[in-house]
Amino acid sequence: MNTQNQNGYMLLYRSDEWYNRLSQEELQKLINQNKAWFERLTGQGKAKPGRALERTGVTVSGKNGRFVMDGPFAESKEAIGGYLTLDVETIEEAIAIAQSSPGLAYGGSIEVRPMADECPLDVRARELAREEQLVNA
Amino acid sequence: MLLFRGNDWTKSLSPEEKQKVTDQWMAWFKRLTDDGKAIAGNPLERESKIVSGKNRVVSDGPFAESKEAIGGYFLLDVASFDDAVAIARECPGLPHGVQVEVRPVAGECPIASELKHDAQFAHA
């Protein structure tokens, strides 16, 4: 596994609306923990502002985008609730940061993904061209 | 926010077709950026780890190659949800099986909104 990556990492928060099951006190405590966690990371220059996503939306698919369907659905445990981008160089550090996220104790999961410098399509097209060259050589 | 789902759709394409879709995609993003409609965007590598649970267990992402895996995103600055959907419908990957999830960005963390909502009812 290539653990070094100059482009940073993305944390994708996946969960259902587990926070609806918390009491007001628990919620407030978690919000404070989250705020402190995020301020520490930004203070260290390790995290850039993330965004939370509303629990609504549509999925567009098909040629010319002819299918527009409601969803993903909020109750899905895989639904993405928000993201954060990290300016760290190894996946180990990105994983360690994900593990320190205060919300994990209550539910949901965090997907850790290296950000790509260029589109994977470009990379694959180049590989195929190279293979073709080798076959013709 | 546009989330591009699916990372197995390029398999059936020839190198020429791949190059064509890539060029279209890049031109599309450049036009949106020039128009001030796209603020950020990034492809993601396929490698994926999932962290979950109280014990913060790390496992390999289950979405390595699937129709649901997220391959990248655009963050848009448009006035309405319909504008965002219209842009999603221009995605060059759509004819090849890509799905574009369109999601409104929240003004604040939904957990904080939930709390305010609860407080409102408590005082009512």
Predicted confidence (pLDDT) at residue A129 exceeds the cutoff of 50: yes
CATH number at residue B15: 3.30.70.1060
pLDDT at B93: 92
Helix A120-136 to helix B15-34 angle (10° resolution) is: 150
CB contacts under 8 A, B 26-85 vs A, are 26, 42-54, 56, 58, 61, 63, 68, 70-73, 75, 85
For the residues A66-82, what does the mean pLDDT come to? 83
Complex ipTM value: 0.81
- Whose CA is closest to A98, among B108, B43, B59, B85? B59
Q: Is residue A4 part of a domain?
A: no
Contact A72 B101 (CB under 8 A): yes
Tokens encoding B11: 């398999």
| Structural domain boundaries, residue B19 | 2-123
Type of residue at A131:
E
Q: What are phi and psi of B7, to 5 degrees?
A: -135, 25
The span from the CA of B44 to the CA of B53, in Å, is 24
pLDDT at A1: 47
Predicted confidence (pLDDT) at residue A2 exceeds the cutoff of 60: no
Would you say B38 and B71 are in contact if contact means Cβ atoms under 8 Å apart?
no
- For chain A, what is the domain count? 1
Q: Is residue A123 part of a domain?
A: yes
Q: Is residue A113 part of a domain?
A: yes
- List, in order, residues 6 or more apart from A80 with CB less than 8 Å away: A12, A13, A14, A53, A72, B3, B70, B101, B103
On whether the pTM is more than 0.90, the answer is no
| Structural domain boundaries, residue A75 | 9-136
Predicted confidence (pLDDT) at residue B31 exceeds the cutoff of 90: yes
Contact A53 B100 (CB under 8 A): no
